Amino acid sequence: MEAAITFRVPPELTLDEDQKGQLSGLVQTKLEETKTLTLVSTDEQFETTGERLKIIAYIRERIKGTLKPYIEFWHKGHKAHTELLATLDGPLEARERSMKQGLARHQRERGSPAPGRRTTATRRRGATAQTGRGRTEAEGTGGCGGKAQDGGGSSCRSRQPGSCRRSGSSRAHS
């Protein structure tokens, strides 16, 4: 499957620094000039504010007109590349998902972990063998085994080593 890809590159990808500087300077100048025109109390201020509003509207249109071609170009490019990504990656992602589901189904039917992976029971047996104890932590020295009592008289529900919150440690409470 081959896709014909055509890229259209504008002469400049972004507004050049001189143009950015000119527009920024113009905006800052107009903001400074109109700082005091937010409160209008006389007819003269009303006239001045009206004229400045026309200038601000003109500058805003000029900025939009200058930046719009770049925004449209990048927007079209974004849309085109998003569609291209979906076209190229979509089938691969669907195949990957299907293959993973097949692996999971095989594991469930077989009842065994993936090659090289140990089950929780296998890890527990290995940990017990490494500690040299023949009993679990909850039965012996770790975990409270449900014996801890809080101030209200209820017993601890923790049966796993190190998971009792009442004792503050992995040791038995009694």
> Quick one: angle between helices 17-33 and 43-110, nearest 10?
130
Q: What is the pLDDT of residue 174?
A: 43
Taking only the tens place, the pLDDT of each residue in 81-93 is 999 999 999 999 9
What's the whole-model pTM score?
A: 0.45
Distance CA 17, CA 9 (A): 19
More confident residue, 172 or 27: 27
Q: pLDDT band for 128, please (50, 70, 90 cuts).
A: low
Q: What is the pLDDT of residue 10?
A: 56
Question: Counting runs of H as helices and runs of E as strands, what totals does the chain give?
Answer: 3, 0
Distance CA 25, CA 122 (A): 71
Q: What is the pLDDT of residue 15?
A: 81
Distance CA 96, CA 103 (A): 11
Domain range summary for the chain, segments of one domain joined by +: 17-110
